[in-house]
Structure 1
Amino acid sequence: MNFKKFLLPVALLAAFSFALAGCDGGSGSNQAKEIKIGATAGPHAEVVEAVAKEAKKQNLNIKVVEFSDYITPDKALASGDIDLVSYQHKPFMENFNKQNKTNLVAIGNTILMRMGIYSDKIKDIKDLPEGGIVAIPNDPTNGGRGLALLQRAGVIKLKDGVGFKATPADVVDNPKHLQFKELEAAQLPRSLTDVDAAVITMNYVMSAGLDVKKQGIFLEPKDEPLAVMILAVDGKNKDNPTYKKVADIFHSDGVKQFIAEKYKGTIVPAE
């Protein structure tokens, strides 16, 4: 065999392969690895887009992956299809872990989406009239959350231990004899012309264009677990320094400014 003829093609092939490797922009050292963050369409995805813009300044390349439901993002995170998710509160994530035997972990807070009590007739929760009508969501989770908020506001008292599972039947003290009108959550903003107050989740406050400062008379506290949205990661990556940088960017001046200008108080940064 003529070894010189054999070695020449091998050498050329090696040189060609090396050249290809040098031209591979996706794996080159000058381009940051793509970080995929799952978020539901709307405010969550919009905030992550703002985070992605700020991240570029730190040579972090973020891709926003939008979802239209509340289960698929966590499943995609658990399976490794995406790196982070930003759309849920901690109790939701913990319930997902329990139901699916996964180990998703919160590595930071993102935004606050607080439930609130709104009114077109009064300016202070203390001014609710005797026998006033208060509209609350008719679904079990948000209905109980609304009653718990009314208790926190000091206008009713619930049976001990019912928490967010409360129903109007669990009201044990009602000094003003308030009447509770259970409505579909989407109808609550429109009900303000007919009731004295309504307990409304922030997504419907936003879609209806309500003014939090003018119509909001009592909001959930900033540390309410159901109001604080989180950035979650698979537990095996909870100490990843790059992901921690992403969590910090949610609290950057640029993102805070975007939230303030875009949502005008309906959504605010979480601490």
Structure 2
Amino acid sequence: MKKISAILLVLLLSISVSFAAGAKEQTASKILTVGATPEPHAAFLNLVVDDLAAQGITLKIKEFTDYVTPNEALESGELDANFFQHIPYLESFNKERGYHLASAGGIHVEPFALYSKKYKSVAELPDGATIAIPNDPTNEGRALLLLQSAGLLTLEASAGLEATPLDIAKNPKGLKFHEIEPASLPRVLQDVDGAIINGNYAIPAGLIATRDGLFVEGADSPYVNVVAVKEGNQNDPRVVALVKALRGQKVKDYVASHYKNGEVVLVDK
């Protein structure tokens, strides 16, 4: 009798442990941890917390102030997704680090612009002007392509999206470049003749591309900000729900009321 009781106790304990483990796994599967830079990315995510909660998904948002750490955290599994980067940056990061990140859906474009505290137009920039540009490969290339569009320089035909100052074929004004960590660009703006600043750092600094920019990226920009995940997780129901929510009316209304000057342009691709 004691032997039977012992066996029953072991079975009950096994069932209890299995049930607890299953419940824990089910709970974890309903949590979606997403890394984002503060504005507008984290702001958008905070808007849709309740939308996801209504679907049984707990959205946890972790804020980052750089472009490297959130990709490291996504690759390592610390994050389920991140929301801060455009596709050329993601592809460059994969190539450089051997990572396996993919886009689960595009949300918006933040127009890239050349800003200056000293000059009011591109034409006013003097010979030998110093321009601060982002120091990561894709945004540096994006900055140089912007300067080329503004007629300030010409890049080698083979330069591509990851152009560097070494790819400049013609530089009639003799522009000089300071390669700066993107988050620091608004802080150095007053110390240089001009700076090309990413939207998610320009906006918190009170800069509006269409109002303050000497020259602004065109509407056909390929630099769409995406929700990024590990390859193979693009169709995770939690991620699909997140992308759908970020393309929903709450975010549209927020952009219409907060970014009236075109600082953020929503897309659906």
CA distance in 2: counterparts of 1:130 and 1:91, whole angstroms? 29
TM-score (norm 2): 0.71
Pairing of 1:78-93 with structure 2 (within 5 A): 78-93=75-90
CA contact (8 A) 1:115 1:199 kept: yes
Q: How does 1:225-244 map to 2 (within 5 A)?
A: 225=222, 227-244=223-240
**Conservation of the 8 A alpha-carbon contact between 1:189 and 1:205:** no
- Structure 2's unaligned 5+ residue stretches are none
Conservation of the 8 A alpha-carbon contact between 2:41 and 2:83: yes
Residue matched to 1:186: 186
TM-score by length of 1: 0.71
Deviations 1:160-215 (A, max 9, x none): 222442428824274xxx452535533554369xx5x6533324422431233322
Return structure 1 stretches of 4+ with deviation > 4 angstroms: 24-29, 119-123, 129-135, 138-144
SS in 2 for 1:74: helix
**Offset of residue 119 of structure 1:** 5.7
Q: 1:221 to 1:59 in 2, by over 3 A?
A: farther
Residues 10-159 of structure 1 mapped to structure 2, 5 A cutoff? 33-118=30-115, 122=120, 128-129=123-124, 135-138=130-133, 140=135, 141=137, 142-159=139-156
Task: Render the CA deviation track for 1:84-136: whole Å, top value 9, x for unaligned.
Answer: 1112222332233234433221111133233213467557x6xx259567652
Amino acid at match of 2:107: T
Matches of 1:245 and 1:61, distance apart in 2 = 11
User: Does the 8 Å CA contact 2:134/2:197 hold for their aligned counterparts?
Assistant: no
Give the secondary-structure state (helix, strand or coil) at the position aligned to 1:256.
helix
Partner of residue 247, structure 2: 251
Q: CA RMSD in A?
A: 4.1
Q: CA deviation at 1:36?
A: 1.5
**Is 2:218 aligned against 1:221?**
yes
Unaligned 5+ runs, structure 1: none
Whether contact under 8 Å (2:110, 2:199) holds in the other structure is yes
1:137 shift after superposition? 1.5
Q: Give the secondary-structure state (helix, strand or coil) at the position aligned to 2:186.
A: helix
Indicate which of 196, 203, 206 corresponds to 2:203: 206
Aligned residues between the structures: 256
